Amino acid sequence: MRLRLLPAPAEHGVRFARTDVGVEIPAILDHVGEQDHATTLRRDGVSIGTVEHLLGALSGLGVDDVRVEVDGPEVPVLDGSAAPFVILLHEAGLRPLAVPRLHVRVKEPVAVVHGTKSARLLPAEHFEIGYSIGFDHPLLRHQALSLRVTPRSFTEQVAPARTFGFLREVEMLRKSGLALGGSLENAVVIGETGVLNNKLRFEDEFVRHKILDAVGDLALIGFPLLGRLEATRAGHALHTAVAQKLLATPGAYEIVAADAPERGSVVAGRALGLESPVESPA
């Protein structure tokens, strides 16, 4: 599969174009499809899968307007992190566009709770995420991390964190005949006593990857967020559910043209686009 990122005009937003079938899908909550292990966008029976790491990179670096061309049903997974996309965006270069950057600012808390899993959006000055995970596995009982998402923190602390999975799930998937998607090359696989196939990039790489997923999923709001996500044992479905709840709750948010130089870093308060087209190595 080939992925190309192309400059787009101001107020275009992020749009995926399936060039093999000629369908364009805006990256917004209205088009969210299946969300089992990744986030899929769907429109008119056509879907584009695993959008969250690329969306995370775009949102993390503050890119508002871009056309993403893919000639198949899935964004290339590459190494399972957002680092290759960050590199592509640096290659393309970013430029300010002739409109102010608009933000969705959280005014009132909203929450989605499913048993011990929860996602909450709270008012905050900046875009922040506090995430905690816990699994029934000796290596991953508990990890938690809280950070403010800026282009710098995203690039250094979040983007390199890779997808992870448990060996027992890989075996289960294999038994049920489901595709594994090259699981050993683009994911960290956790066995009963340790990580099987790779050295970790961070001691707490797993919770950092959850933050990456959340940045990507929240990008489907369609505007950068001014607010704090508090997530506990959440995942793609809860990330988008709480975003949907925010937009569906009258008075819970407002759209503001905030001056946030740390997000754009080129010209304060302007929307950002790409300087030039780039193509993924895969």
Catalytic residues: 236
* Smallest gap from residue 37 Cβ to Zn ion (A): 8
Number of chain positions touching Zn ion (CB under 5 A): 2
* Smallest gap from residue 162 Cβ to Zn ion (A): 8
Query: Cβ closer to Zn ion: 37 or 126?
Result: 37
Q: What is the CA radius of gyration of the chain?
A: 18
Neighbours of 87 (CB within 10 A): 17
**Of the listed pieces 71-79, 136-144, 210-218, 227-235, which binds Zn ion according to CB under 5 A?**
210-218
Query: Cβ closer to Zn ion: 70 or 97?
Result: 70
Closest by CA position to 58, among listed 187, 221, 259: 221
Query: Cβ closer to Zn ion: 56 or 151?
Result: 56
**Strand-strand pairing, 164-166 and 188-190:** parallel
Neighbours of 258 (CB within 10 A): 17
* Smallest gap from residue 118 Cβ to Zn ion (A): 19
Long-range CB contacts (within 8 A, 24+) of 35-42: 35/235, 35/236, 35/237, 35/240, 37/236, 38/236, 39/213, 39/216, 39/217, 39/220, 39/236, 39/240, 41/16
Count of alpha carbons within 13 Å of 264, Cβ hemisphere only?
25
Query: Cβ closer to Zn ion: 155 or 163?
Result: 163
* Smallest gap from residue 212 Cβ to Zn ion (A): 6
Contact flags string 41-60 toward Zn ion, x per CB under 5 A: --------------------
Which run of H or E residues covers position 89?
Answer: helix 83-92
Applying CB under 5 A, among 213, 215, 239, 252 the residue interacting with Zn ion is 213
For residue 217, state whether it binds Zn ion (rule: CB under 5 A).
no
Helix (H, G, I), strand (E, B) or coil at 244: helix
**Of the listed pieces 58-66, 111-119, 133-141, 206-214, which binds Zn ion according to CB under 5 A?**
206-214
Greatest CA separation for the chain = 54
**Strand-strand pairing, 117-122 and 110-114:** antiparallel
**Of the listed pieces 123-131, 162-170, 183-191, 268-276, which binds Zn ion according to CB under 5 A?**
162-170
Query: Cβ closer to Zn ion: 97 or 159?
Result: 159
List interacting residues with Zn ion (CB under 5 A): 163, 213
